[in-house]
Amino acid sequence: MGALRMTTPRLLVLRALLADPGRERYGLDLATEAGLEPGTIYPILVAFEGAGWLSSREEEIDVHAAGRPRRRYYLLTAEGATAARSALARRRAASPAPSPGPDTGRLAW
């Protein structure tokens, strides 16, 4: 797979994954931490896994005893952690620091 286009939602997911890069996370947990809707997170996770940035596994539980569906857990690969840090650094470098406007004592809007 070629280079991934880094959208704001993808960067939010990478930031959430890097908060604890050695911990397996499931989709809803990541969506909540990233501030995204659950339907948004899964295509991002699939793209990252396809790029080799994530590995995943389905948990082994008795769904009836647990009272919930199985979860798929995602973990950053070494390549993914490096790529995530690089993508976030590029975004920081590309985003100019906000310049203060003239202090007129009035709200800007």
The structural domains of the chain, ordered by start, are 8-94 (1.10.10.10)
Q: What is the mean pLDDT of the chain?
A: 88
Confidence band for 30, pLDDT divided at 50, 70 and 90:
very high
Strand residues in the chain grouped as ranges (E): 25-26, 54-58, 72-76
Interval 55-71 mean pLDDT: 92
The pair of structure tokens assigned to 26 is 């499931």
Q: Is the pLDDT of residue 71 over 60?
A: yes
Q: Is the pLDDT of residue 99 over 90?
A: no
Interval 78-90 mean pLDDT: 94
In eight-state DSSP terms, residue 50 is H
Amino acid at 1: M
Q: Is the dihedral of CA 78, 81, 84, 89 positive or negative?
A: negative
Residues contacting residue 37 through CB under 8 Å, at least 6 positions apart: 31
Interval 27-42 mean pLDDT: 94
pTM (2 decimals)?
Answer: 0.80
